[in-house]
Structure 1
Amino acid sequence: MLNKLANNATRLLEAISYQLIVTLEYCHALAKGQTLWLEYYGDVTVSGEVQVEVKDFVEDLTDGHINFWNTLKNWMSPNFKQAKYSELILLTTQTYGAASKLRHWNQLTVQEKLDLLQGVLDQSEARNSASVDKPSRAVQAQRFVMAKERRQTLLDVIEKVHILTDEPDLVTRADRVKSVHCKGVHPDKHDDYFRAMMGFLIDPEKSKNGWKVGYEDFDLQIASLNALYGRHSRRFPIVDKSLFKDNVGEPSYSERLFVKKLHEIKYPTKVPTAILEHMVAVHTISSEFQRFNLEKDDIDRYKEEQLNRHVSLRAAAMRKCRREPKEYWCDESKSFFDLRCGETPDKIPTFDDTSLDFRNGIWHMLADDEDEVDSEKLHWRLW
């Protein structure tokens, strides 16, 4: 499949992506105990059942097309154990050519298939004899397939060959997979779920054993992703912090109150992390929480509990700090900050866990609230 358009990187990546999507479909069809092999025996192979050659091409599938004949040649190779499979599938995005007799292939008997193939070779040889050019790759493949010494292998192979044409293009096939296999996943997370599945298939760890996917491994992967992206998941949403790193240095943050409170204890090295955690918390509340059964009151209650606990712990730390000379108060405040930010996060009732970035981000949100007279706010200074 990968021996085409070598100088067109975009087209090559599309072809690889298409093959992976087909692989994902066959992974979902695995039965207990079965194993799928990717690019080991062929494009997609399900142990003891089916071998699939995937072709993502634009031009029509004609009787003499290299795709078809090369696929037959591969299946007739001495290294390919076709006897292990009950079905050999050529899956292609191509449409049959207007005059193509291959369009009837799936309904033909073995003898009728053989006659069709012989007719194609005869026409190719007639054209070739009238030309001074050397035989094309397609004609060479035809000669290999139709060689008398390989006739029994050919008969065994074509009995199992099934052609699937007019398959959906890359985008359409991806959308179909999301629609069919993302049931139970929140609609906003279909793309994330799909990308995670594709990433699972190309995990370099799989190369150690020949790029294989077992039923049990795939079942565990589905369970893990459903726990993460499912409509009723109790897993705390994971936010990709790299999405926000480029914005950490925005000048507007230098005037934010939560940043000033870190400068107040002379701890500027913690500012970039604090800004990133603040962004994570804001994004989680405004975007990620929308797919959970979580009310604003739940978030407000969590923030209130975090503030109350912080005020209590800070009061105790302040009494201890005041026993030290004033020149050590900033260092004591820094230690207080570090200890607090390293504590195990309290959970929000909706989830089984809560991320450290989110919890710390909540503190920075609380620290960003405007100070009011006679109103407790979140501070890091111990004076």
Structure 2
Amino acid sequence: MGKTTVGDAYKQKRGDLRHYAEAVEICLKANEDDIIHIENYGDISTLTTSIEVKDLEEAITLGSYQIWNTLKNWVVDFQQFNQFDKLLLLSTSPVVSDKSIPDWNEMTKENKLKKLVEASNKIRGRKNASKEKIKLFDEVFKFNDLYTKNDLLDILDRFHICLSSVNDKEKYQELEKLDLFKLHTKAMTKTIISDVIYFIFRKGLEGDDKWQINISELHRVLKHSAYSTKKKLPKLLKKYDDISIEDYEETVFVDEMKKIELDVSEIELGIGDYCRTYDTIIDLIDENILFEQDIMNYRRGELYRYLNGNKKLIELESGEKIQKSKKNFFNCLYKIDLIDLESIDNETFFQRGNIHSIVDDGLYRWLIDED
């Protein structure tokens, strides 16, 4: 066997990196009371699912080593894996022309067994058949009192294959786009992901014979980390879709939007912009404390004049004050005149969020004639 190069060694480790990236996503999406196991019952397991993660560039077929080795692991420890509702093989392998793989998840358990027997017999019939594979075939089909053909059928009924999953680097990029991070800046997102990675590895080092992640503990650690670094984003770890007006009932800026009878969807968008802007400002101040004064000058200067200029134009128009107030609101936030901040990138969400902050400070009201 030739000497392993540095590049080869890295390729071997990429499978582990892909495995850990999947674990991070599962932990981020898990519910408060969940327990996630790493390397205990498969690569990753939840209460209902055991997952094997394979980082492969080449296509796999029903005769591939990875499929049979996975089956062998489930068979050898059948009593442990029998507790799961789903047994998943997750692979970065491309979809192959062999129809058996793409159609696998729709097959009956009997048809799955038939296809596996055909694949194994085909390989056994080769002159230079791999002894390692034949040994795997024997393990899977070696029925006894503790492991029967019906047990294998039961495994196959729960056995799913997922092909064409992204590689390790793409997976980490996908993590940053999770719904969980819709209200976070990139800096905050990367911080949370890094904290989850650290937590997972620390639990692996601390564990004696089990590597498990208690999600409620993970959430407490992340919240403590956010507060200790002064990143006090409201409703940390709360998904965007879960945010409701009730979370912000006592805020001035929400009360002001209610006064002009905005739809719930508009109020929730306002809350999203407010939270995301708050998080961005914390990151900016962490980078340079002088940004705090720049932002205050921006709010009390150009942005405040922008709001008042819009309102004066609307006040000159005829019409009922609620409708005029709504028109002013939409003009200010969506027919946007993006003010140049020079040293800070002023994106549309950031300007809208700062507008809500001005309203929250009691410096501006949406309802016409209420000043």
Query: One fold, TM greater than 0.5?
Result: yes
The Cα of 1:37 is off from its aligned counterpart by 0.8
Q: For 1:159, what is the secondary structure of its paired residue?
A: helix
Q: For 2:103, what is the secondary structure of its paired residue?
A: helix
Q: TM-score, normalised by structure 2?
A: 0.58
2:49 equivalent to 1:54 = no
The Cα of 1:23 is off from its aligned counterpart by 0.7
2:162 equivalent to 1:177 = no
Q: What is the one-letter code of the residue matched to 1:215?
A: I
In 2, Cα distance between the equivalents of 1:296 and 1:120? Answer: 68
What does residue 142 of structure 1 align with?
Answer: 137
Q: For 2:76, what is the secondary structure of its paired residue?
A: coil
More deviation, 72-81/171-180: 72-81
Residues 50-199 of structure 1: pairs in structure 2 closer than 5 A? 50-78=49-77, 80-127=79-126, 131=127, 133=128, 135-149=130-144, 150-180=148-178, 181-199=180-198
What does residue 201 of structure 2 align with?
Answer: 202
Q: For 1:84, what is the secondary structure of its paired residue?
A: coil
Q: For 1:96, what is the secondary structure of its paired residue?
A: coil
Q: What is the one-letter code of the residue matched to 2:83?
A: K
User: If you compute each CA radius of gyration, which structure gives the higher value, 1 or 2?
Assistant: 1
Q: What is the one-letter code of the residue matched to 2:95?
A: Y
Q: What is the one-letter code of the residue matched to 2:22?
A: V
The one of 268, 286, 289 aligned to 1:288 = 286
> Cα distance 1:291–1:218, how it changes in 2: closer, same or farther (>3 A)?
farther
- 1:98-129 Cα deviation digits (max 9, x unpaired): 125122110001111111111111111211xx
The Cα of 1:186 is off from its aligned counterpart by 2.3
| CA RMSD of superposed structures (Å) | 3.3
> Cα distance 1:195–1:9, how it changes in 2: closer, same or farther (>3 A)?
farther
In 2, Cα distance between the equivalents of 1:5 and 1:65? Answer: 25
- 1:196-223 Cα deviation digits (max 9, x unpaired): 2211110155323611101211221332
In 1, Cα distance between the equivalents of 2:230 and 2:141? Answer: 53
Q: Which runs of 5+ in 2 are unaligned?
A: 235-281, 297-371
Verify the 8 A CA contact 2:41 2:81 in the aligned structure 1: no
2:223 equivalent to 1:223 = yes
Q: For 1:76, what is the secondary structure of its paired residue?
A: helix
> Cα distance 1:80–1:116, how it changes in 2: closer, same or farther (>3 A)?
same
Verify the 8 A CA contact 2:285 2:292 in the aligned structure 1: no
- 1:256-294 Cα deviation digits (max 9, x unpaired): xxxxxxxxxxxxxxxxxxxxxxxxxxxx99873469982
What does residue 16 of structure 1 align with?
Answer: 16
- 1:324-372 Cα deviation digits (max 9, x unpaired): xxxxxxxxxxxxxxxxxxxxxxxxxxxxxxxxxxxxxxxxxxxxxxxxx
Verify the 8 A CA contact 2:284 2:291 in the aligned structure 1: no
More deviation, 79-88/37-46: 79-88
> Cα distance 1:206–1:146, how it changes in 2: closer, same or farther (>3 A)?
same
More deviation, 52-61/27-36: 27-36
> Cα distance 1:285–1:46, how it changes in 2: closer, same or farther (>3 A)?
closer
In 1, Cα distance between the equivalents of 2:97 and 2:230? Answer: 46
Verify the 8 A CA contact 2:35 2:213 in the aligned structure 1: yes
The Cα of 1:148 is off from its aligned counterpart by 4.2
Verify the 8 A CA contact 1:30 1:215 in the aligned structure 2: yes
Q: How many residues align?
A: 242
Residues 222-261 of structure 1: pairs in structure 2 closer than 5 A? 222-227=222-227, 232-233=232-233
The Cα of 1:13 is off from its aligned counterpart by 2.6
Verify the 8 A CA contact 2:181 2:189 in the aligned structure 1: yes
Verify the 8 A CA contact 1:90 1:164 in the aligned structure 2: yes
Verify the 8 A CA contact 1:41 1:80 in the aligned structure 2: no
Q: For 1:199, what is the secondary structure of its paired residue?
A: helix
Verify the 8 A CA contact 1:186 1:231 in the aligned structure 2: no
- Work out the percentage of aligned pairs sharing the same amino acid: 17
In 2, Cα distance between the equivalents of 1:144 and 1:6? Answer: 35
> Cα distance 1:296–1:113, how it changes in 2: closer, same or farther (>3 A)?
same
Verify the 8 A CA contact 1:5 1:11 in the aligned structure 2: no
Q: Which runs of 5+ in 1 are unaligned?
A: 235-283, 299-383
In 2, Cα distance between the equivalents of 1:218 and 1:209? Answer: 20
Residues 212-361 of structure 1: pairs in structure 2 closer than 5 A? 212-227=212-227, 232-233=232-233, 288-289=286-287, 294-296=292-294
Q: What is the one-letter code of the residue matched to 2:59?
A: D
In 1, Cα distance between the equivalents of 2:55 and 2:295? Answer: 52
In 1, Cα distance between the equivalents of 2:165 and 2:139? Answer: 28
Q: What is the one-letter code of the residue matched to 1:165?
A: L
> Cα distance 1:57–1:285, how it changes in 2: closer, same or farther (>3 A)?
closer
Verify the 8 A CA contact 1:50 1:87 in the aligned structure 2: yes
More deviation, 157-166/140-149: 140-149
Q: For 2:177, what is the secondary structure of its paired residue?
A: helix
